[in-house]
Amino acid sequence: MSFSHLGLSEKVLAAVAATGYTNPTPIQEQAIPHVLARRDVLGIAQTGTGKTAAFVLPMLTILEKGRARARMPRTLILEPTRELAAQVKESFDRYGVGQKLNVALLIGGVSFGDQDSKLTRGVDVLIATPGRLLDHTERGGLLLTGVELLVIDEADRMLDMGFIPDIERICKLVPFTRQTLFFTATMPPEIRRVTETFLHNPEKVEVSKPATTAVTVTQLQVPSGREAHEKRDILRRLLREAKDLNNAIIFCNRKREVAILHKSLQKHGFSVGALHGDMDQSARTAALDQFRKGEIPLLVASDVAARGLDIPAVSHVFNFDVPHHADDYVHRIGRTGRAGRTGTAVSIVTPLDHKSLAAIEKLIGQSIP
């Protein structure tokens, strides 16, 4: 099926054609007609399945009619991290080229004044992280009573980051009659409860079984002693000996470990950047841009980078620390082997990690050689 059969407007189809895409992904094919029919949608899909365009394209079609009012956004998209919010804005910029829509970002690390002046001019699409959005509503600078369409993206990540109470507060501030699109990669009980509370008779769209790993990714584990310096020795050896390594994301469980490993790799002559939640927004954006452009081949990151980072050509992922939550393993290694490419994911495993590794292997239904 081509995009032209989904009911999208001529302007949106022209923008899609200009980007070179001809056929929708399964989530786009299934979700877009329901969104255009103004139904609530529950989408279960991993990152890398084309999920963002599954809500951006029909929203652009819907927003061609009507106009924004001051401090009252017409549509609201909630994202768990600043990076994800910025990427969604990039999608609106890319596909909304022929339209005069006002799209605004409300994220931390950016001044309230700049954000406030955008809200005063009126926005068609507001993309926000939950905390910063509530800050603006509490200051009286933002009314959510005009929201016609609410998107809650990466809901299971919101749960991990403790945002579910914020989401529930926001859902009570938007009109009861709004349309809601809800996307998640997994369905833990808390997420199920939220969907039952805030979605009205939704169309369920599921495109990959929760917690499946891509067949394009070769998964391996390497044993190590429990000391951090032993793991750092092993990582350096793996980086030097890896075949076809173009670039790699190296994951740590804690922000502190990201900083230590980043410094250590630099000291040993590696060209490497860092990404974690305590960095200010400009530093995070700069590190990501350098990595995307290939100026630095290695990026040491906490799980803030594990979801939604759309960098199609990552050749390797290294788990310097085995993640405590099995779901996080799936999302981390999903950064490689995207868009039909092959990738390699290597985990450094200490004796303390065997319980976590067993949970990962049970979740993905295979043992990691």
Q: What is the pLDDT of residues 254-292, one digit of tens each?
A: 989 999 999 999 999 999 999 887 787 788 888 888 998
CA–CA separation, 55 and 182 (whole Å)? 10
Nearest alpha-carbon partner for 352 in 183, 244, 230? 230
Counting the structural domains of the chain, the total is 2
pTM beyond 0.75: the answer is: no
CA–CA separation, 210 and 206 (whole Å)? 9
CA–CA separation, 195 and 352 (whole Å)? 36
State the pLDDT at residue 306.
Answer: 56
369 found inside a domain? no
CA–CA separation, 155 and 181 (whole Å)? 11
Q: Is 61:36 a contact under the CB 8 Å cutoff?
A: yes
Terminus-to-terminus CA distance in the chain, angstroms?
39
Q: Is 319:329 a contact under the CB 8 Å cutoff?
A: yes
CA–CA separation, 71 and 64 (whole Å)? 19
Q: Looking at the DSSP assignment, which residues form a beta bridge with residue 109?
A: none
Residues 6 or more apart whose CB falls under 8 angstroms from that of 274 comprise 258, 259, 262, 287, 299, 300, 301
Question: In this prediction, what percent of the chain has a pLDDT beyond 70?
Answer: 95
CA–CA separation, 88 and 264 (whole Å)? 34
Q: Looking at the DSSP assignment, which residues form a beta bridge with residue 203?
A: 41
Q: Is 277:304 a contact under the CB 8 Å cutoff?
A: yes
212 found inside a domain? no
CA–CA separation, 221 and 367 (whole Å)? 10
Q: Is 31:41 a contact under the CB 8 Å cutoff?
A: yes
State the pLDDT at residue 181.
Answer: 98
Q: In which element (H, E) is residue 59 found? A: helix 51-62
| Least confident segment among 11-20, 282-291, 316-325 | 282-291
Structure confidence at residue 1 as a pLDDT band (50, 70, 90): confident
Same domain, 84 and 36: yes
> Where does 82-175 have alpha helices with state H?
82-95, 112-121, 130-138, 155-160, 164-173
- Write the pLDDT tens digit of every residue in 37-59: 999 999 998 766 789 999 999 99
The encoded tokens of residue 212 equal: 């499946």
State the pLDDT at residue 298.
Answer: 97
Structure confidence at residue 316 as a pLDDT band (50, 70, 90): very high
The encoded tokens of residue 170 equal: 């926001």
Last residue within a domain, chosen from 184, 206, 228? 206
Same domain, 224 and 345: yes
Which range of residues forms the domain containing residue 175?
Answer: 3-206
Last residue within a domain, chosen from 206, 239, 269? 206
Q: Is 178:148 a contact under the CB 8 Å cutoff?
A: yes
Same domain, 47 and 157: yes
Last residue within a domain, chosen from 206, 232, 249? 206
CA–CA separation, 297 and 310 (whole Å)? 16
CA distances to 67, 131, 142, 241, 247 from 310, rounded to whole Å, are: 31, 23, 30, 26, 14
Backbone angles phi, psi at 237, to 5 degrees: -65, -45
Same domain, 181 and 256: no
The encoded tokens of residue 195 equal: 């969907």
193 found inside a domain? yes
Same domain, 303 and 228: yes
- Write the pLDDT tens digit of every residue in 141-193: 899 999 999 999 999 888 878 899 999 999 999 999 999 999 998 888 889 99
Same domain, 237 and 176: no
274 found inside a domain? yes
